Structures are given as structure tokens and as C-alpha cells.
Amino acid sequence: MAKKVATTKKRKEKSKLVPGLVVLFLFLFVSFSYYAYQIVYTANVDTKDQETYVYIPTGATYEQALDSVEATGTIIDKLSLRFMAKLMNYDELVKPGRYKLENGWGNRQLIGVLRLGEQSPVKLTFNNVRLRTQLAEKLATEVEPGQEELDALLNDNEYLKTLGFDTTTVVSMFVPNTYEVYWTITGKELMERMKTEYDKFWTAERKAKADKLGLTPKQVSTLASIVQAETIKNDEKPRVAGVYLNRLQKNMLLQADPTVVFAVRDFTIRRVLNVHLRHDSPYNTYKYKGLPPGPINVPNISSIDAVLNPEQHDYIYFCAKEDFSGYHSFATNVAEHQANARRYQQALNQRKIMK
């Protein structure tokens, strides 16, 4: 009888325990489901409405990749991010690249983009570049390959020959425009892409115009670089180009001050003096006839097209206007040019610009 009573008592206790366990199970299930939902779908990226990118270098480990993401300062809950990354096997699918982080992304969206390698392309531009080293420096700020790697390619004559250039002409291969590339592009891939764009730029029409002038595309770029250094006024570039083409036709010295500045490698010079003109360099067009060996900067499209479409005139001289407007005074003879030059020199003296 006592045994029967004990059994009954246990049954009653069990019957009381089951509902409690069910409630606990439901509570844990709901809590886990809610947390799982938060981990997967709740916004975990806060860019504060600023354009934000994460850069994951080639060869980065799983930990390094996540550290790079967290270093952006946009992750709200780092623990949930790492939990989701493990859940989605990101440790086995790390891909290098430049990724734009969108405000309000959940962990699933973020990890999904990273593990698929859905990079945001870089808009590559390069303006106001004079030297190969400057070009390498500029490009290295936009893509993964470093300045040292790019500089080595730009100075490798044997490699440049395969692209149809050498160290004196290679900057002309880089036609200033906006190009979309992936941040992870290799140095050689970038060079080949620029060669492809160069070939596209030099259409049959442009080549025909160059041929009519008696110039190769590289020579056009070299002359365009001089025109660009002489004037920032696009509407004046065809006239300046016409002056230099007239000089070439007459077998005269180009006597372009910017080529002397390039030869001396002192880009702070504002007033070219006799000491600069005596500098011995193939880029000194006061000493050597014809075009210099290569461009003295990376000429933009407006400068190249100005050479291909020059203004037809008889001017063979020009100098800066004394009003410092950026425009120039043009002349057909020495006397007229000297009068223009005197006015400009007086203006320089008044402003005490000695070098």
C-alpha cells in the first residue's frame, strides 16, 4: 500500500514538472529563435551614412579578414558577426578585395558579399602627373599593388617593349580618363588594361590625323604634354599646338620652357633663366631640335585632341600675357614677340617673381 502511494505521488510530481519543462523549452526556443533572427537578419552595420569600404588583402587569413571588417568601426555586435561567419563557413571562403559596406546590413548580407567576393570596383583616375614615379605613387593609392611593384614595371624596358613602349614613352600609354578596375588587379594586369584602353583611344580617325601631321601617336602625346604644360585654357590649346607644329615644319627649335623645367627637374621654377637654358639634356628644346624623347607629363585628352586638331595660323612665337590671366600673346615675327615678352617680364619684375 505504501509503495502504491509513493508511485502515485511521483506521478503527480511528474505531471507538475512536465508543464514547467514545456514552458522552459518554449522559452528557450523563443529566445534562441529571436537571437538567431537577430544574428542573421538584424542590422549590424552602421556606417553613419558615410561611404565606407573594407579592404581585405590578398592572402589574408580568416582572422585578418574579420579584423579588417571590425577596424572600419561600423560593426555593432562583433560577437554575432563572428558567430555568423563561422556558421556560413567564411573561414574556408575568404576572398581578397575592396568591399563597400552598406548601412543597415545584417550579418548574413555582409558575410554573403565577402565570401562571394562581390567587390566594389575602383574608379581609377590619374591627372596632373609628370614623372613615372608620380604615376606609380598615384596608382598605388587606388589599387592593391604597391608603388614599388608598379614603379619596377614602369622602369622595366624589356617588359615595356612587349607593350610597345619604353621608359621615355610609357606615360603616354596612360590616357587620363575614369576606368573601373578591381582593387585586387595585379600590376601587370593593370598595365595590360591601360594598353587596351590606349589602343581603343587611338581610333583609325585619330591615327589618320596624326599621320597627316607627320607624327606617330607617341609623338602626338609628347607634343600634347608640352601644350598642356604651356596652357590650362582648353580653348587656347589648339592655337598653342599650331605654334609648335609651325616650328617643327620650319625646322626651328621648339624653345618650350616647360621642357627645360622638366630637364632641370625643378618644378618650382616660375621664371626660366639663362642658367636653366644651358642645362644639357635631350629634353631641353632650347638646345636640341625636334620633339623631346617622350612626354613631360601625362597629357589629357583635350591636349591630345588639340594637337590632332590644331588651329591653322602663321604664329611661331607666344608668351604669357602680362595680366596673368593664363592666356598668351601670339606673334608672327621676332619684333612683335619681343614687345610681348618685355611686357610680361615687366609684370614679373613688378610682382618680384625672380625664379
What residue has cell string 573601373? Answer: 180
Residues 6+ apart with CB under 8 A from 129: 135, 138, 171, 174, 297, 298
Residue length of the chain: 355
Q: Which of 27-36, 126-135, 196-205, 305-314 is least confident? A: 27-36
- The whole-number pLDDT of residue 273 equals 86
Q: What percent of the chain has pLDDT over 90?
A: 81
**Rounded to 5, what percent of the chain is helix, strand, coil?**
55, 10, 40
Question: What's the distance, CA 245 to chain centroid?
Answer: 32
Q: How far apart are CA 71 and CA 65, in angstroms?
A: 10
Domains of the chain and any CATH numbers: 52-116 (3.30.1490.480), 122-201 (no CATH), 204-350 (no CATH)
Q: Residue 289 has which C-alpha cell? A: 631640335
- Give residue 350's pLDDT band: very low, low, confident or very high (50, 70, 90): confident
Q: Mind giving me the DSSP string for 206-263?
A: HHHHHHHHT--HHHHHHHHHHHHHH---TTTHHHHHHHHHHHHHTT-----HHHHHHH
Pairing of strands 317-320, 328-331: antiparallel
Q: How far apart are CA 310 and CA 264, in angstroms?
A: 29
Residues 147, 172: Cα–Cα separation, whole Å: 19
Q: How far apart are the C-alpha atoms of 221 and 175, rounded to whole Å?
A: 9
Asked if the model's pLDDT at residue 91 lies above 80, the reply is yes
Model confidence band, residue 30 (pLDDT cutoffs 50, 70, 90):
very low
Encode pLDDT of 153-209 as tens digits. 999 999 999 999 999 999 999 999 999 999 999 999 999 999 999 999 999 999 999
- Across the range 100-109, mean pLDDT stands at 96
- Distance CA(181)–CA(190), nearest Å, equals 8
Question: Which of 11-25, 248-262, 264-278 comes out lowest in average pLDDT?
Answer: 11-25
Instruction: Please give the mean pLDDT across all residues of the chain.
Output: 90
Instruction: Specify the pLDDT at position 33.
Output: 46
- What pLDDT is recorded for position 20? 53
pLDDT digits (tens, 9 = 90+) for 264-318: 999 888 888 889 999 999 999 999 999 999 999 999 999 999 999 999 999 999 9
Please state, in angstroms and as integers, the Cα–Cα distance from residue 287 to each residue in 2, 90, 181, 256, 337, following that order: 125, 64, 42, 10, 20
Report how far apart, in Å, the C-alpha atoms of 66 and of each of 85, 86, 87 are. 9, 11, 14
For the cut 70, the answer to whether the pLDDT of residue 4 exceeds it is no
Summarize the confidence of residues 234-258 as an average pLDDT.
97
